[in-house]
Structure 1
Amino acid sequence: MGSSFDRSKKRIQLWKKALLQFSLCFVMGFFSGFAPTTTTSSFFSSSSTSTSSSISFQSPQPILSNTTITTNLLSPPSLTSTQPSLDLQIETEDSEDSEDMTEDFQDFQDSQDSQDSQDSQQPEEPQEYSIIPNKLLIIVTTTSSRDPIREVKLRRLSHTLSLVDPPLLWIVVEDHLQAPKTSENLRKTGVMYRHLTVKENFTDSSSEADFQRNLALNHIEHHRLNGIVHFASLSNVYDLQFFQEIRDIEVFGTWPVAMLGANRKRVLVEGPICNSLQVVGWRKKDLQQG
């Protein structure tokens, strides 16, 4: 019984010794693997000495300053860093010229800043737009009860006046018997109008037209209408530029007019006789008579 116990105890001691020796060998081998060998260190030392070099060059001389640049390529101090480092040494000559240029640039910049500050302090003046309104045109039209196509002529003239730039006032004077139908037609024109009627009876067409013109002038004076008055006959044919030009009249304006008589086969030209800026008469001329 005692001999078997001694044998088992010896076996345990042998296993412990073997395990301890194995552990020591393993630890020594593990750390020896990290230790550098002599060949490796000599290789790196030789390569580092062979790659170390020194390069120096001189840049061309500029006009204002001469600069010399020296560059050294050094070997790495350790194995962990293999990139070369650059040491730049710049020596600048003519420092006085560079200082003068710096001062001039600073003065210029200060002047620009002061100019900008003055511009920002000055308030912007509002822009003024001069709008000249058009003068009021007062178109006076007289009618005759003896004209069979009076309504057609009124419609044609209304179409022309509807194309004229406002403001425009159309005063139509006629006999009171035709007033209801004419009023209905005037409402459809789209032109600002005033409709005046006459109750007097006339045997002469020219006398009737003169009376209607005077009635229209009295209406303008009574209501104090301020504008350019033009007597537009129903038989007249107009160019739209004409209405724009008569807006430039200040006091009085007149111009020659050609009249064509289809039944009489004759052409009449009538117009003012002027002396400088004054109208001294009126003239009628038959072109067929010469």
Structure 2
Amino acid sequence: MGSSSDRSKKKVQLWKKAFIHFSLCFVTGFFTGFAPTTTTASFFSALHVFARVNTSLPPELLSPPAPFPTSAAPVESNLRDGRQLILITTTRSDDPFSVAFLQRLAQTLRMVPPPLLWIVVGARSSAPATARLLRWTSVMYRHVTYGENFTDAGAEAHHQRNLALAHVEHHRLTGIVHFASYFNSYHPRFFDEIREVEVFGAWPVAMVSASRKRVLVEGPMCRSTKIVGWELKDLSNGTVMSRTATFGAESSDGRESESTARINISGFAFNSSILWDPERWGRPSSVPDSSQDSIRFLHQMVLEDEAKIRAIPADCSRVMLWHLHLPGQISP
């Protein structure tokens, strides 16, 4: 009797345990249904929404993006397409605004279709800071330095430009050279235009001075696509003066000579092969090397043969480059 009663009690206890276990599972499942959706559910629902969005997009937007090309690839492909290399040379000074404006110029050059090479020349003392700035620009560049000390900013800028041309000549970098100032602003189509230059190209440059509240436009006078002279326009009073062209230096206050029209250093471009193959362009074979003054050689060529200069734009009717003049600034 005792053994049978013990067995019945054990059966009852087993049923109770089973019932309690079942009840706990039921309650857990019941309340789980009211809980927020899990991460997995959210993930699959997001995939579902993404699939529905994809079906509404045009096919060309759904194709995978092309891999980012290496620095050498665009140069080769674009040269095959006939797109000339643009060689931008920039001088570097200790002007307090130079870093900010150099960064702004870098942003402009990033938007120019390749191939483009930026040659930045600066003193060896400022080389580390300049190198750090150039590394993040995503522009293909070469950094040229020198150890000489200068007390005259204009003479230093002239020396820097000659160093840039010596670098171009030494490495036979074939392309169109433009002396860019980091105080320049450019029309979006400017760089497309100078790629069409064969020998020389020239264009109007607007000199903007906030402190003097005036705008001067200096550059070529055109008859159709031909350059027939040089002029200076003062847009603040509407006067136009036809003058003899020169590459004379600008004074420290930004004033121009009354007898000549200064051709802005940023107002012309040229084919770099002139530096090492002048006979190709009808010049004597005596070419200035790195120990001579290449800048003066180029100035002489521009002033002697206007017929070979390409007007940019074709009728010189539009300003595509603006130069901001700051008080006490020597144009870099």
- The answer to whether 1:139 aligns with 2:110 is no
Measure how far apart 1:226 and its partner are.
0.2
Greater RCO (Cα-Cα under 8 Å, separation 6 or more): 2
Write the distance in 2 (CA, Å) between the matches of 1:153 and 1:223.
Answer: 28
**1:216 partner letter:** A
Report the TM-score, using the length of structure 1 for normalisation: 0.50
Deviation at 1:141, TM superposition (A): 0.9
Structure 2 match to 1:169: 117
Offset from partner CA, 1:241-261 (integer Å, 9 cap, x none): 111111111110000110101
Say which SS state the counterpart of residue 202 (structure 1) adopts: coil
After TM superposition, the structure 1 = structure 2 runs for residues 172-183 of structure 1, keeping only pairs within 5 Å, are 172-183=120-131
Alignment-mate amino acid for residue 259 of structure 1? M
Residues 1:277 and 1:242: Cα distance change in structure 2 (over 3 Å) = closer
**Given the alignment, which residue of 164, 171, 174 partners 1:226?**
174
Structure-to-structure mapping, 1:195-210, within 5 angstroms: 195-210=143-158
- 1:47 paired residue number: none
Deviations 1:124-172 (A, max 9, x none): xxxxxxx623110100111222x10111111111111111111100001
Residues paired across the two proteins, number: 159
Match of 2:213 among 235, 253, 265: 265
Q: Which residue of 2 aligns with 1:18?
A: none
TM-superposed CA distance for 1:206, in Å, is 2.3
Q: 2: distance between equivalents of 1:267 and 1:203? A: 30
2:96 matches 1:148 = yes
Question: Following the alignment from structure 2 to structure 1, what is the Cα–Cα distance between the partners of residues 174 and 91?
Answer: 20
Moved more, 161-170 or 268-277: 268-277
Q: Give the secondary-structure state (helix, strand or coil) at the position aligned to 1:172.
A: strand
Shift in Å, 1:204: 2.8
Say if 1:170 and 1:259 are closer, same or farther in 2 by CA, change over 3 A: same
Q: Deviations over 1:227-247 (max 9, x none)?
A: 011111000011231111111
Which structure has the bigger radius of gyration? 1
Hey, what does 1:193 align to over in structure 2? 141
What is the CA–CA distance in structure 1 between the aligned matches of 2:189 and 2:99, rounded to whole Å? 25
- Kindly provide the CA deviation profile for residues 95-132 of structure 1, in whole angstroms up to 9, marking residues without a partner as x: xxxxxxxxxxxxxxxxxxxxxxxxxxxxxxxxxxxx62
User: CA 1:159–1:285 in 2, change beyond 3 Å: closer, same or farther?
Assistant: same
Specify the SS of the correspondent of 1:200.
coil
Q: How many Å separate the matches in 2 of 1:229 and 1:244?
A: 13
Distance 1:209 1:281, change over 3 A: farther
2:153 and 2:210 map into 1 onto residues whose CA distance is 19
Select the residue among 256, 259, 283 that pairs with 2:204.
Answer: 256
Partner of 1:158: 106
Q: Which amino acid aligns with 1:237?
A: S
**CA distance, structure 2, for counterparts of residue 225 and residue 203 of structure 1:** 31
Percent identity, aligned pairs only, is 58
Of stretches 271-280 and 151-160 in structure 1, the one that deviates more from structure 2 is 271-280
Q: 1:216 to 1:275 in 2, by over 3 A?
A: farther
Counterpart residue identity of residue 146, structure 2: V
TM-score (norm 2): 0.44
Cα distance change on mapping 1:203 and 1:277 into 2, 3 Å: farther
